[in-house]
Structure 1
């Protein structure tokens, strides 16, 4: 951890996830950071200032015009004090006001007045997160250089299931720590593929798989935070990415292959995390196929290009593969390494319900060759964002 002596301003807005901010505050202090907490009126309805004062060791700030501080322009001094500002949780209302440049409470005023980097960790109902107004605010905040951390997907306090959960305190701690790291990947270009590919059968049907893209997106974010220039080629997924990452959206395996080829020059590390369809219909019907009889339907398939093997054959980039398996994990992973001509492959067991496809969590076995022998490094079980952080830190050591 690089947090010793760093000054972190923790903003807390109204939401049930505010209880997690207490753990984040405690972890920041444990890592050696100095923490000042700013709470909105809504935040105080969920967790008391006294709790955060005890955990941070400093008075909690919540009034824009505090008579005890304003003689010295306290809110400006606080804005100048911080090395980094993180707002967790960040409500939809707060992000809207921040995007609009409002300064009607202490927290928004500090965000306007500080020259320090700002990150927000959204937390809200899944429908609020999906609302076009919220997504517009998210995009605008990223364009203004504010980092958007999350949200995660899963069960919500209201009973809904979907994206909107605040990232876990351990993940937020890692991300804050990343900000103060020496950017070990600075000067490198990482090319990453993510998500599924879809192969049309006719205008309304296609072949695909269950990949959510979460692991690939998490790796892209982790590499970017470590200083790399990142290009992300993704199949159709419902995920957002930081503004610093170049994103290329594709549908089919052929389109992904062409995008990788076009971006490959000058790439230092290629991470093939996408679940690329092995086959596609040899001929895609131009009109919707109709049921001909009760005897079934035969579709002739042809093999898709092997993107990872092509990349390895170029001998210009360090290539990392992914293998989603349901059995014989080590055997199949080693065979895939040989077939693709690569030295590293990350394998996970997608037969498990608690990790893998569509889950926020994962457990990865990183197989690699060292001195001619097969080695393995276990990562997780943990949030995919945490595993991505661990993987990005681990890979440079085995190049």
Structure 2
């Protein structure tokens, strides 16, 4: 995972009952070697005293926009320049609205506008407030500006309701911030990732495909490259820019993706991530001319495509860590675990594509990490941030010594 040692982190605390969790977040961040400063809104001070957070952070808590003790009386500018990361947690519905509107009428919102550091927001509110269209609009505005959203989680709330809206646990917030700072742990390693849909032609003008945008796979490729990996991205037809430092291989059909994967895992590979939505079937025979409309029905004969990730997992050149994706509409964990066992994968990342707010074409996602130890839900966040979290988990999950073995094999190839 990324390093927080000597990082400067500001936590902006707003007025929600979950403010009590910030004490634990401060402890975790300081345990990682970060310096932490706190900005509290007036509402936040009704739930947790500034003295409590000052005692834990080791710095005076900032509460007022106009600070007579600050150099030149411009405390918000000094804080903004000091920060390596700015996290608003808990972020109430009101705080989200004010941040989305670009308000600058208190110390917290003014510092958020003034900082060049990456901004993270961890929402916490009643489940109905979270589902409100106004909140969704504010979240999207923040995402469009590059703000990373962490959570919220689902569960029982202080008001008695049950649903999405709980503040993510401090450890999850810490992990999201830490993942932003790449550790270069994959330096000298090789990662192969598939992304996007495939297109299976029926005739010269029609094809079978799906709704995959490729956003998740491209974000994973970027995160792997940032972690130092030699990254190969095998992509179906999408309109996304190639991440910096990534080798892109464009394909259209499942057969082409299959061939590209077989070729690219011949070199020792540390991690293979199959995030592409590969068509299960293709036309038995592709019509040479456009199929004409005749009658009320049309019968198509389809044949199975190769199961790419299963063949990669069972090949003699199997990568050290095999990760698959399961896009499901029901029984999420059961189907993901069945897929993991059947395809001989180390990890399956499961997401619910029946939900309109996450998954295909969305900029955010919520997934479950399923491996031999069980499953763990990663709360809603941007696909960019989720990709960093998943790559960090892959690094931690890699079999012991496999990275060194893979590196030595690569060196041997280079020397031969």
Q: Report the TM-score range of the alignment, normalised by the length of the smaller protein.
A: 0.5 to 0.7
Does the 8 Å CA contact 1:196/1:275 hold for their aligned counterparts? yes
Q: Which runs of 5+ in 2 are unaligned?
A: 125-129, 201-207, 237-242, 286-290, 327-333, 351-358, 360-364, 380-385, 407-416
Does the 8 Å CA contact 1:18/1:43 hold for their aligned counterparts? yes
Aligned counterparts, 1:78-89, within 5 A: 78-89=79-90
Rounded to whole Å, the distance in 1 between the matches of 2:14 and 2:173 is 16
Rounded to whole Å, the distance in 1 between the matches of 2:256 and 2:36 is 44
Residues 1:363 and 2:364 aligned together: no
Rounded to whole Å, the distance in 2 between the matches of 1:348 and 1:83 is 33
Does the 8 Å CA contact 1:364/1:379 hold for their aligned counterparts? yes
Rounded to whole Å, the distance in 1 between the matches of 2:349 and 2:34 is 38
Q: Which residue pairs with 2:12 in the alignment?
A: 11
Q: Deviations over 1:132-167 (max 9, x none)?
A: x5313321x11xxxx4143345347373645x5543
Residues 1:135 and 2:137 aligned together: no
Q: Which residue pairs with 1:346 in the alignment?
A: 346
Rounded to whole Å, the distance in 1 between the matches of 2:22 and 2:56 is 10
Q: Which residue pairs with 1:49 in the alignment?
A: 50
Aligned counterparts, 1:380-399, within 5 A: 381=376, 383=378, 389-395=392-398, 398=402, 399=406
Rounded to whole Å, the distance in 1 between the matches of 2:224 and 2:89 is 22
Rounded to whole Å, the distance in 1 between the matches of 2:224 and 2:71 is 42
Deviation at 1:191, TM superposition (A): 5.3
Does the 8 Å CA contact 1:121/1:149 hold for their aligned counterparts? yes
Does the 8 Å CA contact 1:122/1:166 hold for their aligned counterparts? yes
Residues 380, 305 of structure 1: alpha-carbon distance in 2 compared, 3 angstrom cutoff: closer
Aligned counterparts, 1:1-399, within 5 A: 2-69=3-70, 72-91=73-92, 93-95=94-96, 97-98=98-99, 101-115=102-116, 117-123=117-123, 125-126=130-131, 127-131=133-137, 133-139=138-144, 141-142=145-146, 147-152=147-152, 154-155=154-155, 157=157, 159=161, 161-162=163-164, 165-185=166-186, 192-193=193-194, 223=224, 226=227, 254=254, 257=257, 270-274=272-276, 276=278, 278-279=280-281, 301-308=302-309, 309=311, 320-322=322-324, 332-334=342-344, 345-347=345-347, 360-365=367-372, 378=373, 381=376, 383=378, 389-395=392-398, 398=402, 399=406
Residues 311, 27 of structure 1: alpha-carbon distance in 2 compared, 3 angstrom cutoff: closer
Deviation at 1:63, TM superposition (A): 0.7
Rounded to whole Å, the distance in 2 between the matches of 1:360 and 1:165 is 16
Deviation at 1:39, TM superposition (A): 1.6
Q: Which runs of 5+ in 1 are unaligned?
A: 200-205, 236-242, 293-297, 335-344, 351-356, 366-377
Residues 379, 222 of structure 1: alpha-carbon distance in 2 compared, 3 angstrom cutoff: farther
Deviation at 1:98, TM superposition (A): 4.3
Does the 8 Å CA contact 1:10/1:87 hold for their aligned counterparts? yes
Rounded to whole Å, the distance in 1 between the matches of 2:346 and 2:178 is 25
Does the 8 Å CA contact 2:87/2:121 hold for their aligned counterparts? yes
Does the 8 Å CA contact 2:274/2:325 hold for their aligned counterparts? no
Rounded to whole Å, the distance in 2 between the matches of 1:223 and 1:379 is 24
Does the 8 Å CA contact 1:5/1:32 hold for their aligned counterparts? yes
Residues 321, 102 of structure 1: alpha-carbon distance in 2 compared, 3 angstrom cutoff: closer
Deviation at 1:43, TM superposition (A): 3.0
SS of residue paired to 2:20: helix
Deviation at 1:362, TM superposition (A): 3.2
SS of residue paired to 1:67: coil
Q: Which residue pairs with 2:205 in the alignment?
A: none
Deviation at 1:272, TM superposition (A): 0.6
Deviation at 1:271, TM superposition (A): 0.8
